[in-house]
Chain A
């Protein structure tokens, strides 16, 4: 089961805390200031950082889980 992240772009408010917690996984789109997931991410090695990012989001726009 692979690590997956779900982002709610309608809720994201451009704080960028996720990109602090998991800079390899998340960034803010420079044009929209809304979260984007970097290509090929997340990998299983990103789990700890992704969970930090989920906990750090002020508006709960991120979810992490395992694919079936």
Chain B
């Protein structure tokens, strides 16, 4: 894998040892990483040691062992977020809430959680059952096809209209604009890369203000943070997060789940015989496939992990996906095992930045599985394709041709 920027080795920068292996050139944004290579890359990093340094992007540290990634996520004072959640950092990253630290982060999260509370998710259940039922039955009635465009993508987009208050026209443009954004994030200023999505969101804010709309988006414009009214800029940044993270993650999770079932008839039969297993299938998919794979932090002080000291001010990429296949934590880690204890993985992250939409996603995916169990089994009907990690983070089937065993 090539690296687009010059490298500064950790030895030059901090004088720290990296074990016998030396720095790697691991680049989570590389187009070489896809289904056939990425899991082996993660395994190789885990085998090299608890702390690796990549020479890409001027140098960054990598944590891939479950215990270390989890410990970092539990220590947001030492592993802070205020310098952005990605590597590389281009411009000034200001995604709300993930590029902020407490106390402001806490206030932003509270305002965003309002859309996603347990009460709200319970209230949404009839809508979710109706929506998912319609999507899956239509897909079945048309003889199957690409399950990403037929089910996995429209599901979260429609949910965004209901949960946030975006229009159908807005969410219809979201996927293409998001893909375009990912193609620009590594070599454009932060806000420049997101300007088309920002324009879409700004128009939604205007529409809600003019129409005095009383949905979540309308409410968000009226909240107070840090003892003052939220600004339109802050509301827009929070809404961009809901728009992007709210569809890309669920799309990949739903696609991954259907792919796992379609490629393994025995696994699917077991669920169909006992649909109460659906939540376990969801958790084990989140562990094994980890739709959002890598997030960055920066160290506010020197941190010792094993025999390596990571200096203060270092970029550290926490690989949830690599950690979720750490055999110290998950024996036979590459196998889908319904018997594993449910929620102890890092598929939604862990700690104060843990996925805001986890409960909604768990509910949607459970209903998707239950709905599929009411129809004939799904089978692969062509070549499944995977791209590289979108933004160095997001991963799932890009196309998933399915048919029903009618």
Contacts and interface: CB of A to CB of B under 8 A. Distances in A.
Interface of A: 12-17, 19-20, 32-34, 55-56, 58-59
B359 interface: yes
B354 interface: yes
Nearest to A19: B343
B118 A32 contact: yes
The DSSP consensus for interface residues of chain A is loop
Nearest to A55: B74
A16 B118 contact: no
B352 interface: yes
Interface range on chain B (Cβ under 8 Å from partner): 20 to 34
B117 interface: yes
B376 interface: no
Contacts of A14: 118, 121, 358-359
B354 A58 contact: yes
Given A33-B359, A56-B350, A58-B354, A17 B118 contact: no
Given A12-B118, A19-B343, A32-B119, 9 more contacts: A13-B118, A13-B359, A14-B118, A14-B121, A16-B343, A32-B122, A58-B351, A58-B352, A59-B113
A12 B116 CA distance: 11
A44 to B, nearest CB: 24
Nearest to A30: B279
Report the 4 A-B pairs with minimum CB-CB distance, sorted nearest first.
A58-B354, A33-B118, A14-B118, A20-B344
Interface string B327-365: 000000000000001111000101111100011000000
Contacts of B354: 15, 17, 58
B343 A17 contact: yes
A8 B109 CA distance: 17
**A12, A19, A33, A34: most-surrounded residue (chain B CB, <10 A):** A33
14 contacts: A13-B113, A13-B116, A14-B118, A14-B358, A20-B341, A20-B343, A20-B344, A32-B118, A32-B122, A34-B118, A56-B350, A56-B351, A58-B350, A58-B352
